[in-house]
Structure 1
């Protein structure tokens, strides 16, 4: 007697939160031409905290800007979830950034005439969406701003302003949050508060964070660190510590420039 084989179970594979395939970015032309990214392939997993590091001019901020649809690519493909970013028109890019992406920058970019609560809810108001009140309270409790919602930016410390910016990035529950040097203007204590919040948003709420940083301590909050040099990914770390990050930065061999033309 033969036993029928069990049915084949097909698991749905979720797309990466963001990914790039053979990504090139070139600025200028002729003698002024600068190649910022050289054929970068990278996948950023959902529900993970990824840090991007590298020396000045390595292409780390350019990579983030291309992944977030803030900068057009010269060649290659970029996806956020299952949406291809490359090739979207201006309206499509605006919709993508409004609906699927959150941003946190070194400059807090808060409107001075609005309260903390109004700044946090501004992206939803622009999109004509009502906030999920339960999620809003969760975000506010997590960043510890419950007693500061009626304050304007000038009445908040730098750390509090950046936490407002973090809450603003997360309140719409985006597929991915891109953070460009989010602690660059903060003292060590305020920076640790912001990084702790970002870490909790990943661990407790499954958010996806991609952070550009030059700070080994900041990078140690991440699950994974991707290192760039001369526009190429040259190393990766998982489970980083400040010491391992510094050792990797010191050991990077800068690759010779490629002769490949676009």
Structure 2
């Protein structure tokens, strides 16, 4: 059964790449509930499975065993058409590379998901989001005429305007300077606290993770830590402990 408090949920999820001697288990029995209206960060070293977990939760990647739910929808057995509709109607995405169309203006990029879905924007909600991201004077500009921070704010607005059940952000500040990154993280945090949005963010940055309500740590495809209301120092201490534990296991 799917929990009414869960925006997304993984139950005993396994994801394996390759076969035989080249087989690699990216996820090993991961069970995780993403609560509605909260900002969850997923951290872990390279190869820990954090991006794979996000892709599986978002319906971008099929799992080999277990269950994945987005809201009340179970992804198992869905056709490609059904998965496409789910990602279009229930899920938002923010990527490290912004993924804006260069020939469209900022406003056209923001409205693109609604146009693809054949939906008209809620003008009051659209105006609220545009004012929140602070881009009203730049709506007529194309991506090349915007700074990196402004482009990522366009991407955030694009994800927020359709009011998805959950937004997945993959290293959203990875290509930004510290000031622009902090502005984007504050915006994501605000969207959770003021708009009730649900956000799942993959990051390697302890400072970025400190903006979240919860931080989940992965290593070798398993959940190995879970913090609530973290600050940057606690996140860093947890990472150091996990690194030390991993080094001890390898040395044994």
* TM range, smaller chain: over 0.9
How many angstroms apart in 1 are the aligned matches of 2:129 and 2:75?
A: 28
Q: Deviations over 1:214-258 (max 9, x none)?
A: 00000000000000000000010011111000000111133979x
5 Å matches for 1:74-93? 74-93=64-83
Partner of 2:212: 222
Residue 131 of structure 2 corresponds to residue 145 of structure 1: no
How many angstroms apart in 1 are the aligned matches of 2:249 and 2:222?
A: 11
Residue 160 of structure 2 corresponds to residue 170 of structure 1: yes
Partner of 2:31: 41
Match 2:100 to one of 110, 114, 125: 110
SS at match of 2:55: helix
Residue 20 of structure 2 corresponds to residue 30 of structure 1: yes
Q: Deviations over 1:29-70 (max 9, x none)?
A: 011111000000000000000000001100000000000000
Q: How many residues align?
A: 245
How many angstroms apart in 2 are the aligned matches of 1:190 and 1:41?
A: 34
1:15: how far off?
3.9
5 Å matches for 1:92-241? 92-241=82-231
Q: CA RMSD in A?
A: 1.2
SS at match of 1:56: coil
Of structures 1 and 2, the larger Rg is shown by: 1
Deviation larger for 246-255 or 54-63: 246-255
How many angstroms apart in 2 are the aligned matches of 1:84 and 1:144?
A: 37
Contact 1:15 1:82 survives alignment (8 Å): no
1:87: how far off?
1.9
How many angstroms apart in 2 are the aligned matches of 1:132 and 1:233?
A: 39
Q: Which has the higher helix share?
A: 2
1:86: how far off?
2.2
How many angstroms apart in 1 are the aligned matches of 2:12 and 2:183?
A: 36
How many angstroms apart in 1 are the aligned matches of 2:97 and 2:76?
A: 27
1:142: how far off?
0.6
TM-score (norm 2): 0.95
Q: Which runs of structure 1 show a deviation greater than 3 angstroms over 4 or more consecutive aligned residues?
A: 254-257
TM-score (norm 1): 0.92
Structure 1: where are the runs of 5+ without partners?
1-12, 258-262
How many angstroms apart in 1 are the aligned matches of 2:224 and 2:215?
A: 11
Structure 2: where are the runs of 5+ without partners?
none
